[in-house]
A and B are shown apart, each in its own frame.
Chain A
Amino acid sequence: MLGLINRSFQFFLIDTWGVEAWETVAAELALPFAGFEAMLTYDDAALDKLVDASSAHLHRPRDSLMEDLGTYLVAHERQATVRRLLRFSGANFCDFLASIEEMPDRGRLVLPELDLPFLVLTDLGAGAFRLTCHSPIRGAGHVIMGLLRAMADDYGALVLLDHLGQEGGADVISIQIADLEHYAARPFSFGLTA
C-alpha cells in the first residue's frame, strides 16, 4: 500500500488528537516518529495495525475513527489538496456523487500505485442512492462515509448517510439527498493555484 494512505492516518492522529497520541502509538508499534513516507510502499498490514493501536489508545471504536479520517481528509486545512481534487468531480453534491465511481481512476491518473476503493453507485430514485465500496483496507467504507459527509457540507447539501454493514465483502452505504442547496457551499474555483 502506498505510504500516502498511512501518512494520511498519521497526520489525522497528529492534527486531531495531538502529536503525543501519534508518538505513543508509533512507539508501541516501533514505527519511527517521522512516520510513513508518502511515496514509499508499505505492507498492507501496517495500516491495520496502526488503526487498531490508535483505536485502543484513544478508546474510540475503529469504525468511528475511520469515519473521522474521511471527514478530516476533506475538512482539515492540511488536506486542502484532497478537498480541491475531490471538488473537481462535480459542480454540486449530486454531480459529485454521479462521478464518484471515477474516483479510483482519478487517483491512478496521478499515482498509478494508489489503490483507492472500488465504488459502485446505484440510483434508487427520489434522491436515494446506495453505494458499495470494495477495498483491501478494513473499514474503508467508513472512511468513504466520513468523506461523503464532509463533501456534502462542502457543497452545502443536506444529506443523510447510513452505513448498512457488509454485503459480499463490500461496505454498503445508503445516501439520501434531502436538500442539494441547504447551506452556503464553501467557495471553490477551478483556477486557484493550490
Chain B
Amino acid sequence: MNKPLSRAILPLTTEALDHLMPLNLRLDSGGRIMALGPTLARLLPQPVVGRSFFTLFDLRRSSALTGVEDLMSHSGLRLRLTLRPEFRSPGLRPIPFRGMAIPLADRSGLVVNLSFGLGVVDAIRQYGLTDNDFAPTDLALEMMYLVEANTAAMDALRGSAMRLQGDKQMAEAQAMTDTLTGLRNRRALAQALERLSRGTAPFGLMHIDLDFFKEVNDTMGHAAGDHVLRRVAELLMQETRAEDTVARVGGDEFVAVFPDLVDPGRLDAIARRVIEVLSRPIPFEGKTCRISASIGITTSTAYHVTDITQMEQDADEALYASKRAGRGRATFHPGAAQAAQPSAPERRSPQG
C-alpha cells in the first residue's frame, strides 16, 4: 500500500529547493514562515522566520484568502501579493509578486513559490540582483535584456526619425524659398493666400514690379542685377511686418500680402515708402544702380467672396495702370480704392 505513495513523494533537500526556487517560502500548518529562499531573504530588511505569512504579505484581490486554511484548500491558486510596507526598504516601490501555494503531501505545511512577474525590472534595479539570484530557468534577465535592448532600439528609431524630420523641414523650407533672394517663392505665396482666403481676417495684396531693372541687367550685367534683387528683398523685408508674406514671383516681380491690413491710407503709405526706398541708388562694385517700382494694390474687403485669382488679376491690372501713368507710383484697384486717393507720384528720374 505504501509503494505507490512513496514513489509519488519526492525526497528533495531544502538546499535543492532553494536552488530551484530562490523565491520560495516554507510555511507550517499555522501559516508561520519556517524558511525562505535566498533571493527572497535578500529583499527583506529584517528576519521573518517564525512570523506569519499573512503579516509579511498583503494578498491582493483575494479577500477570500485570509488564513492558511484557505491556502490549503485552494491548492495551486494563482496569488497576487505585495510585501507589506514594514517589510519593504523605505522609498522603494512595492513589487507585485505572483505566487502559488502548494500544501505538503502530509499537510504539515505549504510551499509558496513567488516570481516578480512584470515587476522584475524594478526588482533587479532596486535590489541590485544578479544572475546568481535567479534560477537558470528563470527568464528574469531576458526580460531585463529585452527592456534595455528595446530602449536602445527606440532611441535609434527616435534618432532616425529626428534626422528625417530635420531633412524634411529643410527640404520644405527650400521648396518655399526663392533661392536668390531668400524671400518666399510663388508656392509659398499660393499657400499663404490659400490660408488667408479660408480664414475670416481681411488682408491687403500688393503687386510690385521693378522699373528699369532690365536696363540694370542689360548695361551692368547679371551680377549687378542679382545684387539689386537681393537688396530689393532686404528693403521689402524692412518695410513690411513680420506677419506679412513677401514673395518673389517672377524675374523682377514681387507680391506682398498684409494680413489684417486693408486700410487704404496705411497701404498707400507703405507703398509710397517702398517706392521711395527702392528708388534710392544701389551701389554695386563702385557703380550705382538705379531702379524704382510700380505697385498695384487691392484688398479682400473689395470682394463679396474672397477670390484669390481675381484679386491677383486686379492687383496686376492696378500695377499696369501705375506703369502706364509713368511708373514709380502705386495704384489701387477701383473696388479697393473707395477711401483712398491714388498716391501722388513722388519720383526722381532713375537712370541706368
- A residues lining the B interface (CB < 8 Å): 4, 34, 37-40, 81, 84-85, 88, 90-91, 106, 109-111, 189-191, 193-194
SS class, residues of chain B in contact with chain A: helix
**Residues 87-130 of B at the A interface (beta carbon under 8 Å):** 124-130
Q: Is the CB of A111 within 8 A of B151?
A: no
Chain A residues, CB < 8 A from B130: 91, 189-190
Q: Are A190 and B144 in contact (CB under 8 A)?
A: yes
Measured CB to CB, the nearest residue on chain B to A37 is: B160
Inside 8 A of B151's CB, which chain A residues have their CB?
A: 194
Alpha-carbon distance between A93 and B141 when the two chains are bound, in angstroms: 17
Complex interface: chain A residues within 8 A of B150 (CB) = 110
In the bound complex, do residue A88 and residue B145 qualify as a contact, i.e. CB atoms below 8 Å apart? yes
**Looking across the interface, which residue of chain B has its beta carbon closest to that of A111?**
B153
Whether A81 lies near B152 (C-beta < 8 A) is: yes
Q: Are B163 and A39 in contact (CB under 8 A)?
A: no
Across the interface, which residues of B come within 8 angstroms of A191, CB to CB? 124-129, 144
Kindly state whether residue B131 has any CB partner on chain A within 8 Å. yes
6 CB < 8 A contacts A-B:
A4-B156, A85-B149, A109-B146, A109-B149, A110-B150, A191-B125
* Interface contact A110-B128, CB-CB below 8 Å: no
Q: Does B148 contact A (CB under 8 A)?
A: yes
| B182 in the interface (beta carbon within 8 A) | no
User: Which A-chain residue is minimally distant from B149 (CB atoms)?
Assistant: A110
Complex interface: chain A residues within 8 A of B131 (CB):
90-91, 190
List the B side residues contacting A91 at CB < 8 Å.
130-132
Using a Cβ–Cβ cut-off of 8 Å, how many residues does chain B contribute to the interface with A? 26
A4: which B residues are within 8 A, CB to CB?
A: 156
C-alpha gap A109/B149 in the complex (Å) = 9
What are the nearest 5 A-B pairs in CB distance?
A: A191-B125, A110-B149, A88-B145, A38-B156, A81-B152
Picked from B129, B145, B148, B160, the residue with its CB within 8 Å of the CB of A38 is: B160
Whether A37 and B145, one on each chain, are in contact in the complex, defined by CB atoms closer than 8 angstroms, is no
Quick one: closest A residue to B130, CB to CB?
A: A190
Q: Is B265 an interface residue (CB 8 A)?
A: no
Within 8 Å by CB of A193, from B125, B127, B149, lies B125
A91 to chain B, nearest CB (A): 5
Interface centre among B127, B146, B148, B151 (most CB of A within 10 A): B148
B159 beta carbon closer than 8 Å to chain A: yes
Q: B residues within 8 Å of A by Cβ?
A: 124-132, 141-142, 144-146, 148-153, 156-157, 159-160, 163-164
Q: How far is the CB of B150 from chain A (nearest CB, A)?
A: 6
Complex contacts, A90 vs chain B, CB 8 Å: 131
Q: Is the CB of B128 within 8 A of A40?
A: no
Contact among A37, A40, A111, A194 for B148, CB-based, below 8 A = A194
Bound-state CA distance A194–B125 (Å) is 12
| B128, A85: Cβ atoms closer than 8 Å | no
Question: Is A88 a contact partner of B159 (Cβ separation < 8 A)?
Answer: no
- Among B125, B141, B152, B159, max chain A CB count under 10 A is at B152
Q: Which residues of B contact A189 (CB under 8 A)?
A: 128, 130
Also in contact, A37 and B163, with CB within 8 A (given A81-B152, A85-B145, A91-B130): yes
| A-chain residues with CB within 8 Å of residue B141 when the two chains form the complex | 88, 190
- Hey, which chain B residues are within 8 Å of A39, CB to CB? 156-157, 160
CB contacts (< 8 Å) of A190 on chain B: these are: 124, 129-131, 141, 144
- Kindly list chain B residues whose C-beta atoms are within 8 Å of the C-beta of A106: 145, 149
CB distance from A36 to the nearest CB of B (A): 10
**CA of A85 to CA of B152, assembled, Å:** 10
Q: How far is the CB of A78 from chain B (nearest CB, A)?
A: 12
Determine the chain B residues whose CB is within 8 A of the CB of A194 once the complex forms: 148, 151-152
Query: What is the bound-complex CA distance between A10 and B159, given in angstroms?
Result: 16
CA of A81 to CA of B155 in the docked complex: distance in angstroms? 11
- Name B150's closest neighbour in chain A (CB-CB): A110
Q: In whole angstroms, how far apart are the Cα atoms of A34 and B156 in the complex? A: 14
